[in-house]
Every structure is written in structure tokens, then in C-alpha cells.
Amino acid sequence: MFELNEKLQPLMREMVAFIKEEIAPNEQLYDRQLRSQSELWSEPQIMAELKAKAKARGLWNLFLPRHGGGGRLSNLDYAHFCEQMGRSPIAPEVFNCSAPDTGNMETLILYGNEAQKKQWLTPLLEGTIRSCFSMTEPAVASSDATNIQTDIRREGDHYVINGRKWWSSGGNDARCKIAIVMGRTDPQAPKHKQQSMVLVPIDTPGVTVMRPLTVLGYDDAPHGHAEIDFDNVRVPVENILLGEGRGFEIAQGRLGPGRIHHCMRAIGMAERALEMMCKRASERVAFGKPLSDQGHVRQLIARSRCEIETTRLLTLKAAHMMDTVGNKEARREIAMIKAVAPEMACTVVDRAIQVHGAAGVSQDTFLAYAYARSRVLRIVDGPDEVHREAIAKMELKSYVHSA
């Protein structure tokens, strides 16, 4: 039921071959130890070359939603491709399918006007610029977006923005030219009508990228995650998305597909970790026999396979529901995969690290970075606890009403 469309299988084979032959040998291109400080936040030449090859082979903007006009893949189709991308930390960018650009592009497709699309969507689709999404704030618990304090105040033909954001992924990148900023335009409005989203060019006076933030020590350069200060930043009123008080509406439309992408990439990451675990267990000998003959290691492998398969089926079901009944009807399944997939990936990668011993936490394998990536997924796009709370409320709703 959830298999890849047969017509798309040649494209899938093309992607798998490209990742194996072109991307895998260059995964260390983002290794900061191999690059000078002056070029740390700039696109490596090899990345530009890989992007050109991917575009020439038709492996470009695969995330593009069908409803955006011209998109080839449904959410279910794209989920399969996203899993393959998740096997490599750099593959999504090579195919112009990396966050936050995919979410920002979909936001512009759904909610941007023609002028906004021409100025920002077109270069993002072409891959000539990058973007960031500025919502989270250091001063408040941003998992509850109603806490957001950044002030967006209208003055004549401009909005004036004041606030401090962090974890604005991509904000350090020299290619980042535009930020989508979420803030409060009307503190007196109903709780979910106070927020708005505004397009803010990064070079606008008053926008200061304060510092890069690290994820368990990884700076993710040149993409990175930035702390950004907005000090009396003035942008034209035409830069607002959809209208004042529509921020939550936009966020809900943006987050559903993004969570599918994150979860399927997490499954690809877990698959790679399991493969590494099995290979290591087959090759290493301890206490007179291969690790693969040790009962505990076999249990780790078996449990990992079961958990990956279960999570994949749940995620594909959510993608199928998004295609057939819409994001609103699929909100329970979307919340479920966001709670399950990152935790599963984190667990499988942790097991692979244990089987690898000291090598697993070193820079010599994919696993240490994979652990950092999977661990942070349990926080971004809403912490696990928030999604479980939403799931429980939906599950209990009929019982509460009947009582």
C-alpha cells in the first residue's frame, strides 16, 4: 500500500546511485578541520559541483509539493526519497531539499504573494541563495509559541521589529539572504491571532547575527544555527506573509510536511547506523568469538530492525493521509511520527555506538554526528512531550465527551 510509485523507481535508482558514487566519497567536505576559518561559513566548491550534477540529472527540488504547481511527488512518494537522503548528512542540500529552505519555500508557495515569490522563492528554487526561519527565542519557552515576545509594530508603511532569536538554522551561512521572522503584531488579540510572519532580508539595518550555536559541539558549518538580534529593523508592510495575525495558520501549514521530511531522514540515518552495527559485529572478535555471536548484540540488532520497520510504516501512513485526507485530518499521525521517529533513531544510533566501542564516539565514523543530529530532533519542531500531549488529548477526546 505504501510502496513507491512504480513510475518513480528509475528516479529512485538514480538517486541511490548518485548518493553512493558522488556524495558518499565527499561527506567530509563539511569537516571544519579540513577548512580554514575564513571559508567556514561559505559554500565549499565541491558542494557547488555536486549541486550542478544533481540538477543536471533531474535530482533537484524533489520536495516541491504538487499543489505548488509542477511538483512531481506526493508526500508519500517524497517520503521514500527523503529516507535515502537521510543516510548522508549532506545529501539533502545537494538536492536542494534541506531545511529550513524546503519549509520556507513551501511557505512562500502557499502564502506568499507574486512579488514575494519572484524576489525570494525563485532564487531559493534555483539554489542561488539560502534562508533561515526565526521563531525560537532564548528568553522564553518557545515550544509554546504563544510565549514569543519579538515585537512587530506597524509604523506607517513599515513594520518595526525588535527582539532576539536563536536556533535560526542557516542564519550564519554566507548564502543566507532572507529570514522569515515570527513575532507579535497585536498582544491584545486572541491568543492564536497575536502572531505574524514577516520577510526580513538579512542585510537590513538592525539585523545582527550574534553568534553560531553548536549542537553537542557540532557547529554544522557552513549552514549552522544562529542567534540573531533584531534592533529597530524596518521592513515594508508588503513583507508580511498572508496578513497580520496569521502566523499560527502559516506555522501549521508549514510544519506538517517538514515533520515528515525530518522523520524519514531519521529513518535513513537509523538504517545506516544498523548497517554499520551489523558490519562491525560481524568483523570484530571479543572474548574468543565474533560480536555477532554474542546474544546481547543480536538482541540489539533485532530490536533495531523491528523499531525501524515499525516507524517507517507509521511515517508512510502519515504521509499517505496527508495526501488523501489533508494535514488537518492527519494531525494525530503527524504528531505520532514526530514523537516516535527521532527517539527511535537516537536509540538505534546509540546501540551502534556501543557496538563500535570507542570508535563510535570518535570523528572516524558517522555515528557521533548522527547521534547529535538525532538527539536534537527530539527538540526541534516541538519537543517529544508536546507531541505526546497532543496525541493523548486526541485519543481521550471521545471518552471525555461520552463521560
| Exposure string for 271-280, b = 16+ CB within 10 A, e = fewer | bbbbebbbeb
| Statement: residue 21 has pLDDT above 80 | yes
Q: Distance between CA 185 and CA 195 in Å, rounded?
A: 6
Domain coordinates of the chain in residue numbers?
Answer: 6-126, 130-241, 248-402
103 backbone dihedrals φ, ψ, rounded to 5°: -65, -40
Number of H helices, E strands in the chain: 12, 9
Tell me the DSSP string of 165-216. EEEEETTT-TTEEEEEEEEES-TTS-GGGSEEEEEEETTSTTEEEEEEE-BT
Q: Distance between CA 309 and CA 314 in Å, rounded?
A: 9
pLDDT band at 258 (very low <50, low <70, confident <90, very high): confident
**Span 288-296, mean pLDDT?**
95
Q: pLDDT digits over 267-276, tens only? A: 999 999 999 9
Q: What is the pLDDT of residue 253?
A: 76
| Statement: residue 257 has pLDDT above 80 | no
| Statement: residue 31 has pLDDT above 70 | no
**Span 224-250, mean pLDDT?**
96
Q: What is the pLDDT of residue 88?
A: 96
Question: Nearest 5°: CA angle at 329, between 324 and 332?
Answer: 120
Q: What is the pLDDT of residue 325?
A: 95
CATH of segment(s) 6-126:
1.10.540.10
What three-state secondary structure class fits 373? Answer: helix
Chain mean pLDDT for the chain? 93
Q: What is the pLDDT of residue 130?
A: 97
Q: Distance between CA 111 and CA 208 in Å, rounded?
A: 27
| Statement: residue 398 has pLDDT above 60 | yes
Q: Which listed CATH number (3.90.79.10, 2.60.120.260, 1.20.140.10, 3.30.2350.10) goes with 248-402?
A: 1.20.140.10
Task: List the grid coordinates of 141.
Answer: 519557552
Percent of the chain clearing pLDDT 70 (strictly above)? 95
pLDDT band at 256 (very low <50, low <70, confident <90, very high): low
| Statement: residue 65 has pLDDT above 90 | no
Q: pLDDT digits over 81-102, tens only? A: 999 999 999 999 999 999 999 9
Q: How far is CA 138 from the centre of its chain?
A: 20
Q: What is the pLDDT of residue 254?
A: 77
388, amino acid identity: R
The CA distances from residue 226 to 32, 39, 91, 195, 220, in Å, are: 17, 17, 22, 22, 11
Q: Are 137 and 144 in contact (CB under 8 A)?
A: no
Q: What is the pLDDT of residue 301?
A: 98
Residue with cell 495526501: 323
**Span 145-172, mean pLDDT?**
96
Q: What is the pLDDT of residue 27?
A: 87
171, amino acid identity: G
pLDDT band at 30 (very low <50, low <70, confident <90, very high): low
Tell me the DSSP string of 76-87. HHHHHHHHHHTT
**Span 173-199, mean pLDDT?**
96
Q: Which of 7-21, 62-76, 187-201, 208-222 has the lowest mean pLDDT?
A: 62-76
| Statement: residue 299 has pLDDT above 80 | yes
pLDDT band at 259 (very low <50, low <70, confident <90, very high): confident
- The CATH class given to the 130-241 domain equals mainly beta
Q: Which of 111-125, 213-227, 243-257, 371-385 has the lowest mean pLDDT?
A: 243-257
pLDDT band at 34 (very low <50, low <70, confident <90, very high): low
Pick 373 or 66 by higher pLDDT. Answer: 373
| Exposure string for 336-358, b = 16+ CB within 10 A, e = fewer | bbbbbbbbbbbbbbbbbbebbee
Q: What is the DSSP letter of 73?
A: B
pLDDT band at 39 (very low <50, low <70, confident <90, very high): confident
